[in-house]
């Protein structure tokens, strides 16, 4: 009989799918690494399980413990699946800009969700970072993975996702693009790929209101760059330890609107029902490809999550009109 012992064993080995219609005018071959095939419907399943397993080995997470994490939603889902298979409880803090679907999904898999304000500084006591840290201090036998600075995040992609992409492209990949949030995905994959071929170019997709692009280009953490934006899952107002700027050759910024519209195009034109940051990643990757890639290039762009997280936003015409994204 062929079966898995628990749902987390289904993580990984996601398909690489050629983009055929949104790439008009692009001569390079553009392939999407479609991560919603993971059981939690996102790339974050990979690092969530890795953080838990490494914490167990280090004695930081003990039987019957509680996992407490600040999340945009997807890491929480991956942690919840790992917690179910291993017998842990979960408490997740989310910023109130995150979609209701994400909060409902986390509650559906047994997690407690604490909603925190978006428009406060990271060190404010009410920020979702601060609340997660405080709960970890107050609740006995709890573990705070801290996906932003926990290097198991990067390691998961160095050990898993990077080798998958290299094997799936027969080592012919010349360019890799992905959104940058915690930084673990792009940094781990890039480290592996560049070890195989240092000539591979890596493009980080950032959003307006985030500090990454300017920091890469100038070395300056410019607080004037920071302002509220709607896109979920990419960009930051902090510099996570998992963002290895040496592994990222350049950044492309994408507006909330351009990311949202490309997300819809991927659903309608490619049959890929993906999340908002996926649209941002593809839009930014194609902008780079127009200027820098030729018919000899093989570009892989990572699509982090699934459209079910955004039914009330991206895939809701009324919400899109309210934002001014469609007429």
Q: Mind telling me the catalytic residues?
A: 44
DSSP structural state of residue 36: G
Asked if 86 contacts 145 with a C-beta cutoff of 8 angstroms, the reply is no
Q: Return the half-sphere exposure (C-beta side, CA atoms, 13 A cut-off) of residue 23.
A: 23
d(CA 270, CA 161): 23
Task: Give me the residues paired with residue 93 across strands.
Answer: 70, 114
Asked if 190 contacts 176 with a C-beta cutoff of 8 angstroms, the reply is yes
d(CA 138, CA 264): 43
- Could you tell me the two tokens for 105? 């999904």
Asked if 177 contacts 284 with a C-beta cutoff of 8 angstroms, the reply is yes
d(CA 92, CA 101): 14
Q: Return the half-sphere exposure (C-beta side, CA atoms, 13 A cut-off) of residue 252.
A: 23
Segment holding 302, helix H or strand E: strand 298-303
């Amino acid at each position: 009989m062929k079966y898995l012992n628990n749902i987390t064993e289904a993580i990984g080995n996601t398909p690489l799918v050629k983009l055929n219609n949104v790439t008009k005018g692009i001569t390079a071959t553009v392939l999407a690494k479609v991560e919603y095939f993971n059981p939690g419907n996102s790339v974050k399943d990979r690092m969530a399980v890795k953080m838990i397993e490494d914490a167990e080995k280090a004695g930081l997470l003990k039987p019957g413990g509680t996992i407490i994490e600040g999340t945009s939603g997807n890491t929480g889902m991956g942690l919840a699946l790992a917690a179910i298979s291993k017998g842990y409880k979960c408490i997740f803090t989310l910023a109130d800009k995150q979609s209701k679907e994400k909060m409902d999904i986390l509650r559906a898999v047994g997690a407690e969700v604490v909603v925190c304000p978006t428009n406060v500084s990271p060190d404010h006591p009410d920020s979702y970072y601060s609340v997660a840290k405080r709960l970890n201090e107050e609740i006995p036998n709890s573990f705070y993975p801290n996906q932003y600075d926990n290097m198991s995040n990067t390691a998961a992609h160095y050990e898993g996702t990077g080798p998958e992409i290299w094997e799936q492209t027969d080592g012919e990949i010349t360019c890799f693009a992905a959104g940058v949030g915690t930084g673990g995905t792009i940094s781990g994959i890039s480290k592996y790929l560049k070890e195989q071929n240092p000539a591979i170019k890596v493009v980080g997709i950032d959003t307006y209101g985030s500090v990454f692009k300017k920091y890469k280009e100038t070395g300056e953490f410019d607080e004037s760059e920071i302002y509220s934006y709607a896109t979920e899952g990419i960009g930051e107002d902090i510099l996570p330890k998992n963002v290895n700027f040496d592994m990222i050759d350049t950044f492309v910024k994408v507006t909330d609107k351009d990311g949202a519209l490309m997300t819809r195009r991927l659903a309608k034109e490619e049959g890929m029902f993906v999340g908002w940051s996926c649209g941002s990643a593809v839009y930014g990757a194609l902008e780079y490809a127009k200027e820098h890639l030729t018919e000899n290039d093989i570009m892989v762009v990572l699509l982090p999550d699934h459209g079910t997280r955004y039914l009330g936003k991206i895939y809701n015409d009324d919400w899109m009109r309210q934002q001014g994204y469609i007429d």
